[in-house]
Structure 1
């Protein structure tokens, strides 16, 4: 029987971006930046709140990434590095080490490495990992 692990993403919405924090149990893993909430319009909005099962996606350009499948009306949603939501994101979620403003942050690569290490270690045990956005 697979164990289900829940990563919790708690968000704050702003006009220029959506900021959040991912926790696992009581541990804070990283902050996140996303596009502003624009009613789930593809490429210009963050994804809707809900629970999503994370999967491994392999891309020719980006290599192996954490994918978020089954987002209503959307495709190819990933968790990947970016420091400015409006300039670098098209609906994906970017982990950051520190938040610097609405939809902006620093040291995204470092935060992504930390998040990937956690998620991959759970996957390696054969467990399922979910992202709960609220």
Structure 2
């Protein structure tokens, strides 16, 4: 399974559309692109393997493997990139502004069911992050 995240970059944040097989799964929000600087930038475009991960803070969430120059890049719920993210990707149901969205937990539940279902079937799950080609 390969999920595709099409990003649009803005100075205040990064907006995304996450699809699987050409169908919308959810929208995403991230920090702006600041040359992959830890804790203040979104991660580089590329293809990453996804895995299940548990933490007391986020409970069950999704972990991107082997992100260059970064550790513990996750996909988890958040509605405001600048206030709630340190380089991770947040799912949202609707974009409400640059780097902001709504109903993040609902969107994450949809994505988590899709990804965890594939992982349960021993399928490798990847995400391809790319720039939105307008």
Superposition TM-score tier, normalisation by shorter sequence? over 0.9
| Alignment size in residue pairs | 130
Structure (1/2) with the larger strand percentage: 2
Q: Structure 1 length as normaliser, TM-score?
A: 0.95
Please, what is the CA RMSD of the aligned residues?
0.7
Structure 1 unmatched ranges of 5 or more: none
Q: TM-score, normalised on structure 2?
A: 0.95
Which residue of 68, 78, 85 maps to 1:72? Answer: 68
1:86-123 deviations in whole A, cap 9, x for unaligned? 01100000000000111000000000000001001111
Structure 2 residue runs without a partner (length 5+): none
Distance in 2 of aligned mates of 1:31 and 1:62? 19
**Any runs of at least 4 consecutive aligned residues in structure 1 with deviations exceeding 3 A, and if so which?**
none
Q: C-alpha separation between the residues in 2 aligned to 1:34 and 1:66?
A: 15
> How many angstroms apart in 2 are the aligned matches of 1:60 and 1:20?
27
